[in-house]
């Protein structure tokens, strides 16, 4: 009776624990890269499940076949020098599994990093995504607008994010659109993605970067090209331009809500060189910023 109560309590605790988990948005993709990564996750899960099931079947078989019996105390089992098929199986199958998963991982990584095949002929829209403690700054150079902590993306158009950071290393992640990519100081990393469905999504910093990183999130709205153009027009007509003084205030550690500007910081605070080296002007600004912080 006590065992039944213990099992029921453990089961209830497990269910309550699961009820507090957030939905697994990686299994609800809204773009081709995320759909590819979802398939890779399922392949890995089914492969690992196959291994676990086979191991438990073999374990149960061995426990039953070689269980203790009423044999004489002086009994000695025959000496077995080895079995070539057992050795081939125990070594060969794990090697085949590793080769298979390695092939899937490498192939999917290259595919996820590139522009989807159906959008190869289209010019991608460039967005600079810069992180600072603890917020995200999104600059649209073509449209000459900037947002903080939210994104508007047109559907069925490839987007090239150019990522970098003003302080700690961050990890840019929109689970329903693509995998994670680091944003670092002094260099740019690129991330290609495309939204093929309209809807609302959530993005975040997936790398620990200080006490406030858990709230370094941003909203993503995937809309039609027409709605995107209307939004850009509205921003240009209603939002204030972004000047250097305002931008420097935004860089100070802390949390902010969503903000919109009718110009970008790229003119007075250009992004780092793509090969990873910082210009003399950037190094000077960083040193002045560190001195002012101290």
Query: What is the tens place of the pLDDT at every residue in 185-244?
Result: 999 999 999 999 999 999 999 999 888 889 999 999 999 999 999 999 999 999 999 999
How many other C-beta atoms lie within 10 A of the C-beta of residue 109? 14
Alpha-carbon span 159 to 191, nearest angstrom: 8
Q: What is the pLDDT of residues 20-59, one digit of tens each?
A: 455 678 999 999 999 999 999 999 999 999 999 999 999 9
Residue 148's DSSP bridge partners are 137, 259
Q: Regarding the domain delimited by 122-293, which CATH topology (the fold level of the hierarchy) does it fall under?
A: Immunoglobulin-like (2.60.40)
**Is 26 in contact with 45 (CB distance < 8 Å)?**
no
**285, pLDDT greater than 90:** no
Distance (Å, rounded) from C-alpha 244 to C-alpha 287? 17
Contact 226, 234 (CB under 8 A): no
CA atoms of 188 and 168, how far apart (whole Å): 14
Extents of the domains making up the chain: 24-68+80-113, 122-293
Close Cβ partners of 97 (under 8 Å, ≥ 6 residues apart): 47, 51
Q: How far apart are CA 168 and CA 183, in angstroms?
A: 9
pLDDT digits (tens, 9 = 90+) for 143-177: 999 999 999 999 999 999 999 999 999 999 999 99
- Residues 197, 175: Cα–Cα separation, whole Å: 14
């Amino acid at each position: 009776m006590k065992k039944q109560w213990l099992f029921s309590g453990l089961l209830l605790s497990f269910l309550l624990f699961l009820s507090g988990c957030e939905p697994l948005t990686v299994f609800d993709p809204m773009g081709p890269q995320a759909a590819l990564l979802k398939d890779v996750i399922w392949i890995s899960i089914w492969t690992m499940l196959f291994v676990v099931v086979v191991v438990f079947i073999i374990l149960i078989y061995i426990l039953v076949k070689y269980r203790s019996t009423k044999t004489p105390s002086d009994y000695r089992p025959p000496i077995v020098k080895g079995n070539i098929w057992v050795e081939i199986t125990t070594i060969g199958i794990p090697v085949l599994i590793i080769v298979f998963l390695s092939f899937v991982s490498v192939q999917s990584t290259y595919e996820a990093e590139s522009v989807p095949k159906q959008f190869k002929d289209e010019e991608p829209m460039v967005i600079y995504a810069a992180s600072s403690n603890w917020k995200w700054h999104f600059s649209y150079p073509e449209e000459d607008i900037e947002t903080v902590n939210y994104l508007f993306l047109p559907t069925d158009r490839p987007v090239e994010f150019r990522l970098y950071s003003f302080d700690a290393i961050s990890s840019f992640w929109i689970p329903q659109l693509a995998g994670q990519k680091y944003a670092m100081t002094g260099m740019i990393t690129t991330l290609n993605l495309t939204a093929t469905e309209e809807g609302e999504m959530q993005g975040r910093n997936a790398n620990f970067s200080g006490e406030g990183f858990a709230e370094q999130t941003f909203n993503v709205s995937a809309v039609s090209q027409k709605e995107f153009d209307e939004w850009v027009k509205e921003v240009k007509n209603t939002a204030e331009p972004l000047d250097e003084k305002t931008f420097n205030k935004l860089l100070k550690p802390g949390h902010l809500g969503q903000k919109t500007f009718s110009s970008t910081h790229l003119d007075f605070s250009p992004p780092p060189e793509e090969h990873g080296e910082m210009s003399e002007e950037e190094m000077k600004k960083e040193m002045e910023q560190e001195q002012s912080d101290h």
